């Protein structure tokens, strides 16, 4: 630091900021009974009720204390290996049936009879329902991982699967189709919609089959949700999804698809925004009425690419959207005819240049 000094003045000493003491645990705070004020206190932990009680007068000083003692007694310390045997198992998993309070005998460690016990326990105690659920969850997890979906989508899909499985409505239906339907619906509920075609490619279940299962699944869920209509939100995989944002039986929104496909085509955010705006506008003008959301999105991307000077050919768009290039060109022709209405001031203000649009063939 440079200081300007007048003659005879002494430089001001640098004042060091006071060093704050490092944080320390305050060991002077101790729990004593506020009635007897005995020091040292006589505290008794009652594990059965989870209370901390004063041994002198019986006043409860702490409720719901966490029991940190061992969950079982160990008699031999030599055959444990390195694991800590004082804790057992996981918390209850709401995705499985029951509270999972059954006894499991570990394979391996222990005395000579433990393997026999393990086998006998396994034979008598197979929970078939849970095994099937676990198998399905594994499949759902693998599918969602292929798409790099967030855990909330995975959890939603699992919850949907469990609800559907419990309803017994889908007995005899193909397991793959039900899983595909759950993943499809979970994506839609979490606002990351995928098309039937994409689900079909991932699961190898036919589009027709997915569609049929999906309709059944949605009918079942809508019926159930009508019961709790008074509530404003539902819990989906730990995330509160407002019911009004869930677009019931509506179809995929072309705007949502535009954003994702533009990113897959390496178009920048500006072009993606224009494509989304075009999709919203064609929806209100009705220029592409009756077209599927996929072909609407594809045509909007085609137009947005040319408007923003990042043209993509119909073939390139076909590769990501899975719509044939002739369909894209036909939809584009319809948009071209309405281009005065579709290309709004807002789109022009974002740098769109209608001169760059090619004439439809």
Which residues in this chain contact Zn ion in the complex, by CB under 5 A? 33, 35-36, 54, 56-57, 59
* Cβ-Cβ contacts under 8 Å for 148 (sequence gap 6 or more): none
**Separation of alpha carbons 321 and 258, rounded Å:** 9
**Separation of alpha carbons 162 and 96, rounded Å:** 8
Q: Cα torsion at 333, 339, 341, 343 (round to 10°)? A: 130
**Separation of alpha carbons 297 and 292, rounded Å:** 9
CB-facing half-sphere around the CA of 132: CA atoms within 13 A:
11
First-to-last C-alpha distance (Å) of the chain: 72
For residue 62, what are the β-bridge partners? Answer: 52
Closest CA to 167 of 121, 219, 115: 219
CB-facing half-sphere around the CA of 322: CA atoms within 13 A:
12
- Give pairs for 279-283: CB < 8 Å, separation 24+: 279/253, 279/254, 279/255, 280/255, 281/341, 281/342, 281/344, 281/347, 282/254, 282/335, 282/338, 282/342, 283/254
Helix axes of 128-146 and 196-203: crossing angle, nearest 10 degrees = 120
Question: Nearest 5°: phi and psi at 43?
Answer: -105, 135
DSSP string, 262-307: HHHTT--HHHHHHHHHHHHHHHHHTTTTTS-HHHHHHHHHHHHHHH
């Amino acid at each position: 630091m440079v200081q300007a000094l007048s003659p005879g003045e002494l430089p001001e000493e640098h004042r060091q900021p006071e060093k704050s003491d490092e944080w320390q645990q305050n060991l002077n705070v101790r729990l004593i009974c506020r009635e007897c004020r005995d020091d040292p206190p006589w505290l008794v932990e009652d594990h059965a009720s989870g209370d901390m009680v004063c041994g002198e007068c019986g006043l409860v000083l702490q409720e719901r204390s966490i029991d940190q003692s061992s969950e079982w007694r160990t008699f031999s310390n030599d055959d444990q290996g390195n694991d800590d045997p004082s804790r057992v198992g996981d918390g209850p998993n709401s995705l499985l049936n029951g509270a999972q309070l059954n006894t499991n005998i570990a394979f391996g460690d222990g005395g000579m009879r433990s393997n026999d016990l393990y086998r006998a326990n396994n034979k008598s105690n197979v929970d078939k329902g849970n095994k099937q659920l676990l198998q399905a969850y594994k499949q759902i997890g693998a599918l969602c991982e292929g798409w790099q979906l967030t855990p909330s989508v995975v959890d939603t899909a699992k919850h949907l699967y469990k609800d559907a499985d419990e309803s017994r409505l889908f007995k005899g239906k193909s397991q793959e189709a039900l899983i595909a339907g759950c993943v499809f619906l979970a994506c839609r509920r979490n606002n990351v919609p995928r098309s039937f075609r994409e689900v079909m490619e991932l699961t190898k279940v036919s589009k027709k089959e997915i569609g049929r299962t999906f309709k059944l699944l949605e009918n079942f869920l809508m019926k159930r949700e009508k019961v709790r209509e008074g509530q404003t939100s539902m819990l989906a995989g730990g995330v509160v999804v407002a019911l009004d944002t869930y677009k019931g039986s509506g179809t995929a929104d072309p705007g949502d698809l535009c954003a994702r496909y533009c990113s897959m085509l390496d178009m920048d955010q500006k072009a993606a925004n224009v494509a989304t705006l075009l999709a919203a506008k064609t929806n209100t003008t009705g220029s592409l009425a009756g077209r599927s959301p996929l072909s609407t999105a594809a045509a909007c991307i085609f137009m947005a690419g040319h408007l923003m000077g990042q043209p993509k050919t119909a073939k390139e768009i076909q590769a990501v959207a899975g719509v044939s290039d002739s369909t894209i060109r036909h939809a584009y022709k319809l948009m071209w005819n309405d281009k005065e209405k579709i290309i709004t001031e807002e789109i022009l203000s974002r740098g769109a240049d209608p001169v760059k649009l090619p004439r439809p063939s």
